[in-house]
Amino acid sequence: MTEAPTKRRPGAKPEKIRCDACPVMCYIAEGRAGACDRYANEGGDLVRLDPLTILENREDDTPLVPFLDRDWDGALVSGEDHFVTAIGSGTTYPDYKPAPFIVAAPVRGVDMITVVTEGIFSYCGAKVKIDTDRHLGPECAPVRAEGEVIGHVTTSEYGSQMLSLGGVEHLTGGSKKEGRATCAALLALCNCEEVALTIDGGAEIAVRAGAAPVVNGVREERMRVGCGSATIGMFAAQWKGLVDEVVVVDDHITGVVSEHQAGKVIDWAPTGIRIRGRRSTPGRYFQVAEPGTGWGGTNLTDPLAILDPWRDAAWPGLSLLMVSTTGENAAYYELNDDLVPVQKEMPERLLPSVARIEENCEPALASVLFMAGAGGSLRSGVTENPVSLTRSVQSRLTRVTCGGAPVTIWPGGGITLMADVTQMPKDAFGYVPTPALVAPIEFTMTAEDYAALGGHMDYVMPLSEALKGATGRQLDHRLAGRRAERAKDGTPWPALPGTRRGERAAQ
């Protein structure tokens, strides 16, 4: 939306107003919204359409009272009870003026200040953890949304496959279509919506933060109990005396109880079993099969495919349990006179151990961490000397939160943060068509520290005023309203003072 503004009659309100909250600089007609649907023209006023979200520090289930129905007594307002998040606060791009809200309130007897803004992040992305053994795709394989490459498969973690999505290369470094598809997928993922993704040379998946992932149309139920070797370690003693051999099939480390150290220490007798694959250490085998969506994250549908002919030490009637790392696949065999395994019905005596593996698996979930660099111009909305904010964050005098949710700050330069999107209030993220994500960010510190880092002290307003609907004098837009949201259970209250050198954390 970059057309010229409509001419106006002298004395009349312009029919279009200009939003300067992002580089797109929309001209917005009366009654219409800008390109991002975040700002609108209401009677010639620029209005931020999503209500300002205020966290309440309450654990009970009593219904939240709408702000307009409250009888505020400003003198009673404390930063221990309310926290103004950046959600719905607006943006001050390119930060030539102070952040939309700079609010002051006492917390545990300390005068604290929270600086609140909706940051526009071109340098941002999502790290996605998918709890599954199933092979989603080779490391470095492109991940696509709407057919566009928006990221890649990265290193697997213990029981989980990892995706690295977004980032400035996909948002701005490719075609317009790639940038839009990347932004749309990140926005949906960060707002806890389901997103369909395909992996080159791998699976089709559906991912939603906090929900079970869907792999090739099948909803994943369990995260594995451990690798094959760890499973042997956990359950060897429970299998002793019930079966002659156990193989836990795993794409990474397949375990064999009679050879494994866990078997040795309980005097498990050798069986003459031979496993295809690369022997790492006794009873631990790598690369027994290709990765896939079969047994234990391999491509196996028949686990016997990983066995070579048995050595002479084996005997007819030898019993063998083969099981996957989730217990989802399990089969029982006995060797015939030719020392060939023949599948038999799973004996009752082994059922509890397979069930125990399943019981020890956690529910499979997809997790989404928003990751972004806040080391750019938005710091100017906080202080006249941007690097002093970076130093204050790095020295933990300033606490950073996203929509009130805790963040992890990476060591090293800049303010590079990661936040669990499920800990944020609903629909905390927006976008602008540059394309970039809009994410809430708050900086909280003592008033003394804020003054010391060159903060915009002239723009500080009491928390009580913000709760009553007042806006900072630097704001050139109206707020659509305010809404209260209860802080998430178990998350630290965002306004607490940070840790000073020599002090213990306040929480």
- Name the closest residue to ligand SF4 (Cβ): 34
For ligand SF4, the closer of residues 169 and 476 by Cβ is 476
The 3-state secondary structure of 442-467 reads EEEEEHHHHHHCCECHHHCEEHHHHH
- Supply the minimum distance, in Å, between the C-beta of residue 480 and ligand SF4: 14
- Supply the minimum distance, in Å, between the C-beta of residue 19 and ligand SF4: 3
User: Which residue from 238, 286, 237 is spatially nearest to 264, judged by alpha carbons?
Assistant: 237
For ligand SF4, the closer of residues 47 and 318 by Cβ is 47
CA distances from 276 to 273, 279, 288, 305, 310 (A): 10, 8, 6, 8, 11
Q: Which value, in Å, is the radius of gyration of the alpha carbons in the chain?
A: 29
The 3-state secondary structure of 396-420 reads CCCEEEECCEECEECCCCCCEEEEE
For ligand SF4, the closer of residues 406 and 433 by Cβ is 433
For ligand SF4, the closer of residues 28 and 214 by Cβ is 28
CA distances from 457 to 113, 294, 451, 463 (A): 10, 61, 7, 14
| Contacts of residue 197, Cβ cutoff 8 Å, sequence gap at least 6 | 143, 144, 145, 150, 163, 185, 204, 205, 206, 207
- Supply the minimum distance, in Å, between the C-beta of residue 183 and ligand SF4: 12
- Supply the minimum distance, in Å, between the C-beta of residue 100 and ligand SF4: 13
Identify the residue whose tokens are 């156990």: 246
Strand, helix or coil at 275?
A: strand
For ligand SF4, the closer of residues 199 and 432 by Cβ is 432
Gap between the Cα atoms of 118 and 471, Å rounded: 15
- Supply the minimum distance, in Å, between the C-beta of residue 40 and ligand SF4: 8
Kindly tell me the burial class for residue 304, based on how many C-beta atoms sit within 10 Å of its own C-beta (0-12, 13-18, 19 or more). middle
- Supply the minimum distance, in Å, between the C-beta of residue 9 and ligand SF4: 25
For ligand SF4, the closer of residues 39 and 429 by Cβ is 39
- Beta carbons of 263 and 257 less than 8 angstroms apart: yes
For ligand SF4, the closer of residues 38 and 222 by Cβ is 38
Interface with ligand SF4 by CB under 6 A: which residues? 19, 21-22, 24-26, 34-36, 38-39, 432-433
- Supply the minimum distance, in Å, between the C-beta of residue 370 and ligand SF4: 19
In DSSP notation, 120-164 reads EESSEEEEEEEE-SS----TT-EEEETTEEEEEEEEEETTEEEEE
| Contacts of residue 236, Cβ cutoff 8 Å, sequence gap at least 6 | 246, 257, 260, 262, 263, 266, 268
- Supply the minimum distance, in Å, between the C-beta of residue 22 and ligand SF4: 3
| Identity at 444, one-letter amino acid code | T
Quote the DSSP letter at residue 363: B
- Supply the minimum distance, in Å, between the C-beta of residue 191 and ligand SF4: 17
- Supply the minimum distance, in Å, between the C-beta of residue 415 and ligand SF4: 22
For ligand SF4, the closer of residues 272 and 433 by Cβ is 433
For ligand SF4, the closer of residues 29 and 418 by Cβ is 29
Gap between the Cα atoms of 14 and 159, Å rounded: 59
- Beta carbons of 66 and 76 less than 8 angstroms apart: no
For ligand SF4, the closer of residues 275 and 432 by Cβ is 432
